[in-house]
């Protein structure tokens, strides 16, 4: 009997995470400050009877809070089960099977996976040596979708505004601007929407908002495109508990979140300076994490994990900077947390600098 699974999925492995095996998890770029107190209070106050009913479609209070935060009207919002739900949905909405999606590499690992699953041709173009986009090569096949992650995961680099605007001006299709880490820098996406009706801006409450476990992502896009994206996603993608916590985080918790994001951005600079001073070569970062080229990343991460800190090991990154070329594409990805945690991490990492050279 022939295998009934689609050919593109044969041998594919589902996304999986392992037990980090450490007291402090710095591997997922989530918030070490935790969720805003207002969100925790909202969950505690939630009537348990809400769990016996389907959530509203759309969840009006959440859409109002998201629209206010983004500075747009509510008919420009689509919420989902994390922003990756919306990446997948946008591919199915804006690209026919067999058409091309273009993106710079390395980037969010689910993008090429979703492209393959949705029958799209992936046009992956390495970043330039200054970590900017190679726009001419990116747009060469006239893609149906251009995916830009800024700040980018895993490099932490942010695309200059002029680069983003040139892509928007010159591409014939839709631009997905993934700003999952937008709260840690001056991310421009929301301000570009009025001039670019084929722009889809993605954000998440998993990073700066500290709600990764509740899986809230959202897209902001031209109101005329919203019904198609909502249709593709299907109903009930956002649960009642997530709606309550997210709404509170975006309203009563907004100042708390912005203060923690600003604190993380400052600590990011301080951590990078300390690492550079002892011999590491972290890439420039606009996110809440650092990408640190390291020739022996796996061995270093294993030793540091044994001493209480889980870091993400990156492999086979393209040699787009001298440091990545020297490390043969290996690196450590380190999430930023409160400074006392970072100071303890530095005590463990500083003796490893020679192993990363």
Coil/strand/helix, residue 43: helix
User: What are 204's two structure tokens?
Assistant: 């998440």
Percent of the chain with pLDDT over 70: 99
| Positive or negative torsion for Cα 233, 239, 244, 250 | negative
Domain boundaries, the chain: 18-33+255-350, 37-252
pLDDT value, residue 3 = 76
Q: Which has more pLDDT, 339 or 21? A: 339
Any idea of the CA torsion for 330, 143, 73, 233, to the nearest 10 degrees?
A: -80
Residue with tokens 């942010």: 158
| In the predicted structure, residue 22 carries a pLDDT above the cut 90 | no
Binned at pLDDT 50, 70 and 90, residue 2 comes out as low
Question: Rounded mean pLDDT of the chain?
Answer: 95
CATH number for the segment(s) 18-33+255-350:
3.90.1150.10
| Same fold flag, 18-33+255-350 and 37-252 | no
190: pLDDT confidence band, cut at 50, 70 and 90? Answer: very high
- What is the model's pLDDT at position 12? 80
- What pLDDT is recorded for position 28? 93
> Which tokens belong to 302?
């294993």
**Class assignment of domain 37-252?**
alpha beta
The 10 Å CB-count burial string (b at 16+, else e) for 38-71 is bbbebeeeeeeeeeeeebeebbebbbebbbebbe
Q: Are 213 and 246 in contact (CB under 8 A)?
A: no
The residues near 215 (Cβ < 8 Å, ≥ 6 apart) are 81, 82, 85, 206, 242
Distances (CA, A) of 239 to 51, 206, 251: 9, 15, 18
C-alpha dist (Å) from residue 140 to 98, 105, 113, 197, 346: 16, 16, 22, 22, 44
**Which pLDDT value is given to residue 233?**
87
Q: Which two tokens stand for residue 134?
A: 């190679």
Give the span between the Cα atoms of 35 and 206, in whole angstroms.
9
Ranges of beta strands (E only) in 7-138 are 24-25, 77-80, 100-105, 121-126
CA separation (Å) from 317 to 88, 111, 339? 23, 15, 29
- The whole-model pTM stands at 0.96
Closest CA to 267 of 209, 323, 346: 346
User: Could you read off the pLDDT of 280-339 as tens digits, one per residue?
Assistant: 999 999 999 999 999 999 999 999 999 999 999 999 999 999 999 999 999 999 999 999
CB atoms within 10 A of CB 17: 7
Hey, is 52 helix, strand or coil?
Answer: helix
Return the CA Rg of the chain: 20
Name the burial class of residue 281, with classes exposed (0-12), middle (13-18) and buried (19+) by CB atoms within 10 angstroms of its CB.
Answer: buried
pLDDT at 234: 87
The model's pLDDT over 202-254, given as tens digits with 9 standing for 90+, comes to 999 999 999 999 999 999 999 999 999 999 988 899 999 999 999 999 999 99
What tens digit of pLDDT does each residue of 247-278 get?
A: 999 999 999 999 999 999 999 999 999 999 99
At residue 102, the 3 state secondary structure works out as strand
Residues 145-167: pLDDT tens digits? 999 999 999 999 999 999 999 99
Q: Which whole number is the average pLDDT over 190-199? A: 97
- Which pLDDT value is given to residue 18? 67
Mean pLDDT for the stretch of residues 112-130 = 96
Output b/e per residue, 87-119; b: 16+ Cβ within 10 A.
bbbbbbbbbeeebbbbbbbbbbebbbbbbebbe
Give 72's DSSP letter: S
> Per-residue pLDDT for 1 more than 60?
no
CB 121 within 8 A of CB 96: no
Whether the predicted pLDDT of 7 surpasses 90: no
Using CA atoms, how far apart are residues 24 and 87, in angstroms rounded to an integer?
29
Two structure tokens written together for 55: 């959530």
Q: How distant is the alpha carbon of residue 251 from its chain centre?
A: 22
């Amino acid at each position: 009997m022939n295998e009934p699974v689609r050919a593109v999925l044969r041998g594919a492995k589902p996304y999986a995470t392992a037990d980090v095996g450490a007291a402090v998890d710095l591997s997922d770029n989530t918030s070490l400050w935790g969720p805003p107190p207002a969100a925790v209070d909202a969950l505690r106050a939630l009537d348990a009877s809400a769990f016996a009913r389907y959530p509203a479609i759309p969840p009006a209070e959440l859409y109002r809070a998201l629209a206010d935060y983004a500075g747009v009207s509510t008919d420009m919002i689509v919420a989902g089960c994390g922003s990756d739900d919306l990446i997948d949905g946008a591919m199915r909405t804006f690209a026919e099977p067999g058409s091309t999606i273009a993106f710079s590499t390395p980037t969010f690992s689910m993008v090429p996976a979703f492209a393959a699953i949705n029958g799209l041709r992936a046009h992956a173009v390495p970043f330039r040596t200054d970590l900017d986009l190679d726009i001419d090569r990116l747009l060469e096949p006239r893609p149906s979708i251009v995916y830009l992650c800024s700040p980018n995961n895993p490099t932490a680099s942010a695309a200059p505004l002029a680069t983003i605007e040139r892509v928007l001006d010159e591409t014939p299709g839709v631009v997905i601007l993934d700003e999952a880490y937008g709260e840690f820098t001056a991310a421009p996406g929301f301000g570009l929407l009025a001039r670019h009706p084929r722009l889809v801006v993605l954000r998440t409450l998993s990073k700066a908002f500290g709600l990764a476990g509740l899986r809230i992502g959202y897209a902001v896009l031209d109101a005329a495109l919203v019904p198609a994206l909502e249709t593709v996603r299907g109903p009930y993608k956002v649960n009642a508990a997530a709606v309550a916590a997210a709404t509170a985080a975006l309203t009563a918790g907004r100042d708390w979140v912005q203060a923690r994001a600003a604190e993380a951005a400052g600590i990011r600079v301080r951590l990078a300076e300390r690492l550079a001073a002892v011999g590491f070569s972290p890439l420039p970062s606009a996110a809440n994490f650092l990408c640190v080229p390291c020739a022996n990343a796996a061995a270093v991460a294993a030793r540091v994990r044994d001493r209480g800190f889980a870091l993400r090991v990156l492999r086979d990154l393209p040699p787009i900077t001298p440091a990545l070329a020297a490390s043969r594409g290996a690196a450590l990805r380190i999430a930023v947390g409160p400074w006392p945690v970072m100071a303890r991490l530095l005590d463990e990492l500083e003796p490893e600098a020679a192993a990363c050279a």
